[in-house]
């Protein structure tokens, strides 16, 4: 579904991503792991069309134009950004409505908003409340619900567990694992390696902009060369 070849991304003089190759097949949950600053967000943002890049990113066999965020969204790539990107001064309902702006089938889309409020009852209860009043975990659900409303084929989740309590993180990961049953393909950017490897099919480990290792979740979790420091991070 997604194929990245020789991806390079620079911020001025800083090269954040250096020659990354990566593949995601339809129906897979793939993780991008690595420490702070390894380049994970930069890759997710490049796929979403938010950054200029060199190299090649193909989605369903077609090359993506760097920076074509709205086009990519219409093609079926949705990003839940780090920090969630919730519109704090809008209500929960209004935030969800933002998710359907690329949908042509507006009446079906409006019905999907209602279904989303049922799927996440906590959002349903707070429907007309300000998004800023939600807890971190609830805001993450709102951000994911909003992304799902664009009916993506590929969902990019950038550090969804950031700042969440352990219990909330566990239930969030459980929810992500269930996306597989809905036929969704997911790229999950995370620092919590051990927890992430429990729910994904495959993972890539990044260090200073390069892929240092990749493989099935099972192989990585049992890899004796991967340090406790890396896997111990959750
Ligand atoms: P994090 O968990 O902190 O998001 P990450 O692995 O996602 O880490 P990136 O955010 O992709 O890493 O950052 C990769 C490198 O690019 C870092 O060295 C970072 O300082 C740099 N960088 C990221 N965004 C910018 C920017 N807007 N301007 C300049 N440098 C940036």
Question: From CA 155, how far away is CA 132, in angstroms rounded?
Answer: 24
Pick from 40-49, 54-63, 75-84: least confident: 75-84
* CB-based contacts of 111, cutoff 8 Å, min separation 6: none
The yes-or-no verdict on residue 77 having pLDDT over 60 is yes
Structure confidence at residue 228 (pLDDT): 66
Q: What is the mean pLDDT of residues 180-204?
A: 94
Helices 166-179 + 136-148 axis angle, to 10: 10
Best probe residue, ligand 1, of 11, 22, 163, 234 (max atoms within 8 Å of C-beta): 11
Please, which residues bridge with residue 189 across strands? 32, 158
Distance 208 CA to ligand 1 centre (A): 10
Question: What are the structure tokens assigned to 63, written together?
Answer: 């090359």
The yes-or-no verdict on residue 232 having pLDDT over 70 is no
For ligand 1, atom 9, which residue shows the shortest CA distance?
39
Question: What are the structure tokens assigned to 191, written together?
Answer: 């620092």
pLDDT category at 119 given cuts 50, 70, 90 is: very high
Grouping H, G, I as helix, E, B as strand and the rest as coil, residue 204 is strand
Phi, psi at 33, each rounded to 5°? -110, 160
The yes-or-no verdict on residue 1 having pLDDT over 90 is yes
Beta-strand (E) ranges in the chain?
Answer: 2-11, 14-24, 29-33, 54-59, 62-63, 77-80, 154-158, 185-190, 202-207, 210-216
Helices 106-119 + 136-148 axis angle, to 10: 150
pLDDT category at 229 given cuts 50, 70, 90 is: low
Q: Is 22 in the pocket of ligand 1 (CB under 6 A)?
A: no
Question: What are the structure tokens assigned to 113, written together?
Answer: 């908003």
pLDDT category at 172 given cuts 50, 70, 90 is: very high
Q: What is the mean pLDDT of residues 165-181?
A: 92
Q: What is the mean pLDDT of residues 208-215?
A: 95
The answer to whether the predicted template modeling score (pTM) of the entire model surpasses 0.80 is yes
Give the model confidence (pLDDT) of 17-30 as tens digits: 999 999 999 999 99
The yes-or-no verdict on residue 202 having pLDDT over 70 is yes
Q: Is 36 in the pocket of ligand 1 (CB under 6 A)?
A: yes
- Are 76 and 61 in contact, with CB atoms under 8 Å apart? no
Residue 35 buriedness (CB in 10 A; 0-12 / 13-18 / 19+): middle
Question: From CA 3, how far away is CA 107, in angstroms rounded?
Answer: 34
Question: What are the structure tokens assigned to 165, written together?
Answer: 């309590």
Question: What are the structure tokens assigned to 88, written together?
Answer: 């704090």
For ligand 1, atom 18, which residue shows the shortest CA distance?
37
Structure confidence at residue 83 (pLDDT): 84
């Amino acid at each position: 579904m997604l194929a990245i070849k020789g991806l390079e991304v620079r911020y001025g003089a800083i090269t954040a991503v250096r020659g990354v190759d990566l593949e995601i097949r339809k129906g897979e949950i793939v993780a991008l792991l690595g420490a702070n600053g390894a380049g994970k967000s930069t890759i997710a943002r490049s796929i979403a069309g938010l950054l200029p890049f060199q190299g090649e990113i193909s989605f369903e066999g077609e090359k993506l134009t760097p920076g074509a965020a709205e086009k990519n969204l219409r093609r079926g790539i949705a990003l839940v950004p780090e920090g969630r990107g919730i519109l704090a001064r809008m209500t929960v309902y209004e935030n969800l409505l933002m998710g359907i702006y690329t949908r042509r089938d507006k009446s079906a889309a409006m019905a999907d908003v209602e279904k989303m409020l049922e799927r996440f009852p906590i959002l349903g209860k707070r429907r007309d409340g300000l998004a800023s009043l939600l807890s971190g975990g609830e805001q993450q659900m709102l951000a994911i619900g909003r992304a799902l409303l664009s009916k993506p084929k590929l969902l990019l989740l950038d550090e969804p567990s950031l700042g969440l309590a352990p219990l909330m993180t566990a239930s969030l990961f459980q929810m992500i694992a269930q996306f597989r049953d809905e036929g969704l393909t997911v790229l999950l950017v995370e620092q919590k390696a051990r927890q992430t490897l429990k729910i994904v099919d495959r993972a890539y480990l990044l260090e200073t902009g390069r892929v240092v290792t990749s493989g099935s979740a099972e192989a990585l979790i049992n890899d004796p060369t991967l340090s406790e420091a890396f896997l111990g991070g959750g």
